[in-house]
Each structure stands twice: as C-alpha cells, then as structure tokens.
Structure 1
C-alpha cells in the first residue's frame, strides 16, 4: 500500500517533481519566514510533528506540556529544556495557545493556532502533489476536499518520522544542514535553483550567486552560513564557479542524489500514512 522508498527513488519523474516541491517549500518560507522557522532545524521539525500528533490525538482538547516533554524524552529528540523553550516560543509568536475553557486549568492544555494548522495542511499538500506527479494520483485534491484528513494522517506520519533511522540519522552533507537554522530551506533553495537541462552534470550550476544575499534572505548570520557551506564544500558537495560566495554556486551530483533519497524516504512515509487512512 503506497509507493515504497525504492519505487519513489527509481522513478524517472522524481528529479523534476522534487525540484517543484523544493520551489513550493521555498515559496512557503517566503510567505511567512517566522512560521516556517518552526521547521528550521530537523530537531524543531520533529518537535513540531510530535506536538501536532499529540494535539490531533487529543480530539481538539489540546495536549499537556508534560505529555509533550515525556515523549520528547522517550524519542530522544531534544532535552526537556530545549523542548520547553520550543513550546514557549510557539506560544509567544501565536503559533500555539492555551486552550480556552479547559477544565483542568493547572494543566494548561495547549493547541495549535489556525496559522499552524494551515501550515501543516499546506505542507502535506505540497508532498501529496509530488507523489501525484509520480503516479497520476489525486492525493492533493483529496486532502483539499476531505475535512479532517490531516487530523488522521499527520499522527501516523509523525510516528514514522520519529522511528525512522534514515530520517533521524541523515547522511553526510544532508546532516550538516539539518542542525542549521533554516537548514532545510537552504537545501530546498539549492535544489530549486537547479536547471533540469544541467541535471546530468557532475557539478550542477544553481541560481545562487551570493552568500551575503542568501544569508539575508534566510535571516541567518552570514558567518554561520559560510561555515556550513565551507563544510559542505570540503565534502565536495558544493562549490563555486568563480570567487567563493560571489559567483555561481554548483552542487555535486552526489549531494543532489543524497537530497533526493532523503526526500524519497519522507515521501514513502507520507504515502504509507495516506494509504492506511484512505485505503488507496
């Protein structure tokens, strides 16, 4: 039920579909950088998925922060202090709120705001569209047309993400960026900037030509971004056609394949959840 990682990775349409997916995720970041920062690192991405799964399984009653912290501990996603800070940040920026009228005021149950719920819905639709591009399905349309589908599917996705060694322990260059603020968007931006006409090259040119501009766009420290890019350069994953940071950036075929495989793993998890819920 659902496409497997190997089936997705081997599909000839995957590179073009992944590039469109990356562009869509970049567009979502540009629309609301602060909200997109919820998924800024893999750690925050996993914490967000875990929190949403708790909420959806509560049947709109909200989740207690103690439940959240206990699960963070169990899955070894982050320290309790880091997770507690994450929740407080979500409350501060109105991505989450205390449930009104809760019977147990001491427990202070928490729920995501409408903006956060829309964000996860949009995230799912982007990935469903990628899967639809591979097999001609109508997952994205079904998600739009079926109220409550996200509520059922997302917890299954969260469970699988948290238990997947390939997700939790990414390889090589991918792992460099998963701990960088907005590191996922850095990779999405690189891949979105690839011209398919050059996709077969060992060194594939991108549309990135300035580290300074990229850092400003990402709201990142330029020096921090430079360090990560140099680490990736040392691995042979990226480089520059001219002066470092001030010319066309290229990405290696190896890194592109690494990124593509990571997306295939994630897409297979999403499709498995979709199949379990819809029977398709």
Structure 2
C-alpha cells in the first residue's frame, strides 16, 4: 500500500483518485470515481498518460484496493470505490498529518477527526484538490525532485530526513548517522542501480554525501537540501490544515480541546 504514494507521481494520482471517490453522492449513481474522470484528471495534471492512468486503475483493482460499485444503471460507466483496507490507509495518513499539526501548535485536530469521520471524508478531497494545483507542492524543487520523481524515491527521501534528530539551521551540513545503500535497498526493495542513480545526482550537486570515501560512515545533507524539503512539506501541511478548518466549519464541529479530553 505504501507504494501507492512512494513516488510523487503516484502521490498525485492516488490523492486525486480518492478525491473523486469521496465526493460520490449516493443519490447520483454515476457520481464519484469513474475511469473517465480519473483519466481526465491524470492527464490534466500531467501526472500520467491515458494508458498509464488506465493501467494504474487496473492495478488497484487487481490488488483489491478498488472495487466496482454494483448495480450502476448505465452499464457503459464503470464506477469504482476504495475498499476498506485502502480507505483505512488513507484515513491513517490523514490522521497522522493532523497529529503532526497538533504537535506544532498544541491543537486537537487528530482527536476531533477520530471522533467524527465526516471531517476526513470532507477534508481529504479539499486538500487533494488544492495540493495538485499548488505549484510549490506539485512541482518540487530540483534538489529533492530527483528522489521524488523516482519510483520509491519519495520513501527513501522521507527516510533520510526522519533520521535527523535535530537540525542546526546555521550549519552548512547536518549529519544523519550511518546510512548504506545496501540497507536502503534491502529495506525498501529498491535495486542498487536505481538507488545509485538517485544519490549520484545529489552527490554531484553537493546536496548530500558521506564523510568517508566509497559512501562509508555518516551521511550528511546540505542545508539547502533540507530547507527545500521543509519548504515543500510546509505547502502540504498548510493545505491540510486549511482543509481541516474548512471541513469542521462546514459541518459545524467545534474542535475538541485537549484540556476537555
């Protein structure tokens, strides 16, 4: 399931797909996620060709992340919906980001969302629609883009950043501890060739490297590399926060305070 957002292209496709699915109106049997709507969205974003988008839908159905909605009145239209496992995966992703925002300002977004699932169902499409149109998020900086546009590269990039215990914003380089390509290859099932290609450009541009020759010892990341990642991530969190507040306002929900809980 994690591979559905492992590259930035798949992130854009998956979020757009859920945005369509969660907007389904039961009173309109042809609303929601259809192959035609998804393909049109993917092509408009430039995230995939018609054939790639079609193959992606087929892959999700094959892995039972999507299923056909039965009894659609027009047999020419294929309407799909997420299965329970994929819904729970997206819900977990959304709640995790709410928890991160809470850690920043002491809010209670996660607690409030857990108490009313309508917030997730309303806010996810709002955030997804905004983010795929947000230039800062849709087109990540070149410094980190080489990872993000690679298959599974997004997971590798997040892993590297997660290894930072703290970040000295005044330092030219920040060390992330010992990292080996063998470890990353085994952990994420990425070929060594693909990994070397990801890292080679970043190394050549002076964005990251190792303290010892032949990629041994502690890995370091440049301040530019880290800052570009943080700024890119800030766009996502900003739109998720806005979508949360728009959803709670629409639903007339008052955020559950931590003190009250």
Greater relative CO (CA pairs within 8 A, separation 6+): 1
1:240 is matched with which residue?
A: 210
Q: Deviations over 1:155-187 (max 9, x none)?
A: 111111111111121112211111111211111
**Is the 8 Å Cα contact of residues 137 and 236 (structure 2) preserved in structure 1?**
yes
Task: Tell me, in whole angstroms, the C-alpha distance in 1 between the residues paired with 2:14 and 2:167.
Answer: 36
Give the 3 Å change call, closer, same or farther, for CA 134–162 of structure 1 in structure 2.
same
**Do structure 1's residue 249 and structure 2's residue 251 form an aligned pair?**
no
Q: Which range is displaced more, 67-76 or 47-56?
A: 67-76
1:47-58 correspondence to structure 2 within 5 Å: 47-58=13-24
Task: Tell me, in whole angstroms, the C-alpha distance in 1 between the residues paired with 2:94 and 2:153.
Answer: 19
Residue 271 of structure 1: how far off its partner (Å): 0.8
Q: Deviations over 1:4-25 (max 9, x none)?
A: xxxxxxxxxxxxxxxxxxxxxx
Task: Tell me, in whole angstroms, the C-alpha distance in 2 between the residues paired with 1:206 and 1:75.
Answer: 34
1:208-223 correspondence to structure 2 within 5 Å: 208-223=178-193
1:175 is matched with which residue?
A: 145
**Is the 8 Å Cα contact of residues 190 and 208 (structure 1) preserved in structure 2?**
no
**Is the 8 Å Cα contact of residues 179 and 219 (structure 2) preserved in structure 1?**
yes
TM-score scaled by structure 2? Answer: 0.88
Q: SS at 2:127's partner residue?
A: helix
Task: Tell me, in whole angstroms, the C-alpha distance in 2 between the residues paired with 1:200 and 1:124.
Answer: 32
Give the 3 Å change call, closer, same or farther, for CA 114–208 of structure 1 in structure 2.
farther
**Do structure 1's residue 202 and structure 2's residue 172 form an aligned pair?**
yes
Cα RMSD over matched residues? Answer: 1.7
Task: Tell me, in whole angstroms, the C-alpha distance in 1 between the residues paired with 2:195 and 2:167.
Answer: 28
Q: Deviations over 1:16-51 (max 9, x none)?
A: xxxxxxxxxxxxxxxxxxx00001111111111111
Q: Deviations over 1:73-107 (max 9, x none)?
A: 22322211111111111111111111233333332
| Uncovered stretches (5+) of structure 2, i.e. residues with no partner | 250-254, 256-261
Task: Tell me, in whole angstroms, the C-alpha distance in 2 between the residues paired with 1:160 and 1:198.
Answer: 32
**Is the 8 Å Cα contact of residues 198 and 205 (structure 1) preserved in structure 2?**
no
Q: In the comparison of the two structures, how many residue pairs are matched?
A: 246
Q: SS at 2:221's partner residue?
A: strand
Q: SS at 1:83's partner residue?
A: helix
1:161 is matched with which residue?
A: 131
Residue 123 of structure 1: how far off its partner (Å): 0.9
1:30 is matched with which residue?
A: none
Moved over 6 A (4+): none
TM-score scaled by structure 1? Answer: 0.83
2:33 is matched with which residue?
A: 63
